[in-house]
């Protein structure tokens, strides 16, 4: 197979270029000239990365952040060597440190409330990889879903919530007799991730905003040496998954080579503060955000391209709650139907709360309306856990998904009926108070009613999270 280069000559196509057509792809056998005509305009004009980078006025906000710390304005929560960071490249080739150990889970209200297998799969993978973490009760959501949906809230409230939650991540280890900054926050939700990065930028640039929220954080007792605490990096779980992808693949138990996967990149992960999203020259030529695609390729699936990959899911923040006519039309017509009919996908993989909810839950109504379209929808970490041997119901919690995950499991060779029967039997044990947990429940309360200090296992011991 050949392609036309920009200088007009032809040559072999790069293996990692937009190869995402899957095993059933057949060459149209166009002449080099005709192929050039057919694709050159698209390649020139619809180069997504150039759409994002072809602008000025872009700066690395972290430069100003370090300067503020130097001037004694703020304290920075660093990603230290103990967090065992892996360096990645972002949109403009800047470095970003992704911590891989000692993580504080900043949960997502939508994931935990609606698709609990999402965080459970992530924690399960971390247990398998002996990653130490803390999942505690002292945290709020970022409150940005409500803000984007209703307009109730404001920049100050978003900033105060951000700083409050990240301060708690900084001091959380005190409850275990461990030092401050022991854990580093890992943000589960895409909207929280985008919102926190945006808010961090405004905090760094606006002395007025800093002054206003400093008064509030002071009242809460959440300053460090009388200063605001700002994280060196805002890190999304999909970034952790991305840098751990080869280690996760090493644990894989199921062959995924026949799986045709489509990726839905989340808007608030890479369109908000786009300069901080990970781009990897080894993944789709570095032209699209690397998270999710990276792990799915590492696991050996066929990542299939589809023409509406760039569209949002239709969540809409307000619409998903009170105007789902828009949400379901968009989700079905612009995403699911295209992935099914054009990409002949087995699964759509996402990395954000709202997208998974929207794409998964809105398929039933299409059937009811006489326009059936079916496609399994999972988060990247759920798929990874599933093929690494996680229980599809106890861990991946696939029963909360409305989409046909059973079809996907059958293609992966998983006997979902047997697994479901195991889970139903397990519910009897749960009734008797014998449920299995991913970590010692005593760890989850770090202050206030119910808190009992205890000496945890050493962090050096593999499986220190566990009961």
Partner 1 sequence: MSATTTRVQENIGDPVSDKPQVSRPQLEEIFKDIQADLRYDHELHGCLNCGICTATCPAAHYYDFSPREIVQLLWTENLEGIYDAMQEKIWACAQCYTCAARCPFGNSPGGLIMLMRETAIKHEMESAKSVLRPFSRVMLKLVSTGNQLAPDMINAEHFADWGPNISKVDAPLKLLRKAIPMPTLNTTATAWEVNLRTSVELYTIWEETGVLKQLEGIDRNLFDVIADFMDEKREDWKDFLADQEDEKDD
Hey, how many other C-beta atoms are within 10 angstroms of the C-beta on 201?
Answer: 18
Options 141, 181, 262, 301; binder of partner 1; rule CB under 8 A: 141
The interface with partner 1 within residues 10-39 (CB under 8 A) comprises none
Options 96, 97, 102, 148; binder of partner 1; rule CB under 8 A: 148
Nearer to partner 1, 170 or 315 (CB): 315
Options 326, 342, 411, 457; binder of partner 1; rule CB under 8 A: 326
Question: Mask of contacts with partner 1, 263-282, x by CB under 8 A?
Answer: ----xx-xxx-x--------
Site for partner 1 contains 181 (CB under 8 A): no
The angle at the Cα of 454, spanning 176 to 442, to the nearest 5 degrees, equals 90
Site for partner 1 contains 216 (CB under 8 A): yes
Nearer to partner 1, 112 or 129 (CB): 112
Options 368, 418, 425, 460; binder of partner 1; rule CB under 8 A: 368
Residue 229, helix vs strand vs coil? strand
Site for partner 1 contains 100 (CB under 8 A): no
| Alpha-carbon dihedral 423, 413, 385, 120, rounded to 10 degrees | -20
Hey, how many other C-beta atoms are within 10 angstroms of the C-beta on 251?
Answer: 14
Options 362, 379, 381, 385; binder of partner 1; rule CB under 8 A: 362
Nearer to partner 1, 22 or 265 (CB): 265
Percent of the chain that is helix, strand, coil (3-state, to 5): 45, 10, 45
The angle at the Cα of 213, spanning 145 to 68, to the nearest 5 degrees, equals 110
Beta carbons of 447 and 175 less than 8 angstroms apart = yes
The interface with partner 1 within residues 284-323 (CB under 8 A) comprises 310-312, 314-319, 321-322
Q: How far is residue 392's CA from residue 388's CA, in Å, rounded to a whole number?
A: 11
Residue 89, helix vs strand vs coil? strand
Distance of CA 142 to the CA centre of its chain: 15
The interface with partner 1 within residues 421-450 (CB under 8 A) comprises 423-424, 426-427, 430-431, 435-439, 441, 444-449
Options 29, 55, 452, 455; binder of partner 1; rule CB under 8 A: 55
CB of 24 to partner 1, least distance (A): 29
Q: How far is residue 58's CA from residue 53's CA, in Å, rounded to a whole number?
A: 9
Total chain residues near partner 1 (CB under 8 A): 111
Options 104, 145, 237, 309; binder of partner 1; rule CB under 8 A: 145
Site for partner 1 contains 40 (CB under 8 A): no
First to last CA, the chain: 55
Site for partner 1 contains 178 (CB under 8 A): no
Site for partner 1 contains 337 (CB under 8 A): no
Q: How far is residue 186's CA from residue 107's CA, in Å, rounded to a whole number?
A: 8
Q: How far is residue 155's CA from residue 339's CA, in Å, rounded to a whole number?
A: 37
Question: Mask of contacts with partner 1, 393-422, x by CB under 8 A?
Answer: xxx-xxxxxx-----------------x--
């Amino acid at each position: 197979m050949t392609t036309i280069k920009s200088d007009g000559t032809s040559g072999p196509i790069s293996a990692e270029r937009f190869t995402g057509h899957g095993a059933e792809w057949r060459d149209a056998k166009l002449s080099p000239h005709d192929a050039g005509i057919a694709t050159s305009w698209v390649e020139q004009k619809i180069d997504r990365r150039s759409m994002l980078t072809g602008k000025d006025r872009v700066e690395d906000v972290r430069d100003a952040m370090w300067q503020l710390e130097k001037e004694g304005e703020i304290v920075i929560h660093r990603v230290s060597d103990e967090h065992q960071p892996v360096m990645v490249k972002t949109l403009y080739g800047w470095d970003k440190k992704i911590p891989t150990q000692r993580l504080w889970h900043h949960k997502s209200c939508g994931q935990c409330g609606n698709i609990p297998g999402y965080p459970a799969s992530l924690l399960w993978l971390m247990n398998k990889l002996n990653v130490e973490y803390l999942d505690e009760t002292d945290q709020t959501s970022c409150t940005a879903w409500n803000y984007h949906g209703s307009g109730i809230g404001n920049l100050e409230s978003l900033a105060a919530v951000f700083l409050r939650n990240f301060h708690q991540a900084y001091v959380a280890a005190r409850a275990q007799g461990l030092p401050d900054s022991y854990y580093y926050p890992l943000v589960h939700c895409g909207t929280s991730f985008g919102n926190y990065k945006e808010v961090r930028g405004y905090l760094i640039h606006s002395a007025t905003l800093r002054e206003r929220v400093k008064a509030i954080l002071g009242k809460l007792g959440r300053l460090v040496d009388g200063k605001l605490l700002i994280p060196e990096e805002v890190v999304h779980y999909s970034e952790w998954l991305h840098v751990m992808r080869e280690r996760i693949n090493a644990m894989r138990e199921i062959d995924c080579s026949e799986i045709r996967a489509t990726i839905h990149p989340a808007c608030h992960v890479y369109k908000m503060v786009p300069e901080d999203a990970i781009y990897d020259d080894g993944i789709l030529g570095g032209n699209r955000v690397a998270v999710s695609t990276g792990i799915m390729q590492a696991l050996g699936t066929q990542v299939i391209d589809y023409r509406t990959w760039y569209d949002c899911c239709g969540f809409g923040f307000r619409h998903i709650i009170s105007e789902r006519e828009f949400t379901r039309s968009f989700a079905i017509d612009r995403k699911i139907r295209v992935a099914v009919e054009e990409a002949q996908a087995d699964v759509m993989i996402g990395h954000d709360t709202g997208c998974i909810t929207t794409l998964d839950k809105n398929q039933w109504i299409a059937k009811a309306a006489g326009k059936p379209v079916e496609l399994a929808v999972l988060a990247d970490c759920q798929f990874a856990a599933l093929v690494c041997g996680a229980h599809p119901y106890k861990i991946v919690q696939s029963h909360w998904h409305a989409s046909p995950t059973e079809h996907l499991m059958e293609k992966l060779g998983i006997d979902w009926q047997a697994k479901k029967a195991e889970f139903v039997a397990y519910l009897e044990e749960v009734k008797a108070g014998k449920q299995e947990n991913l970590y010692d429940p005593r760890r989850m309360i770090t202050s206030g009613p119910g808190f009992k200090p205890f000496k945890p296992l050493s962090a050096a011991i593999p499986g220190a999270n566990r009961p």
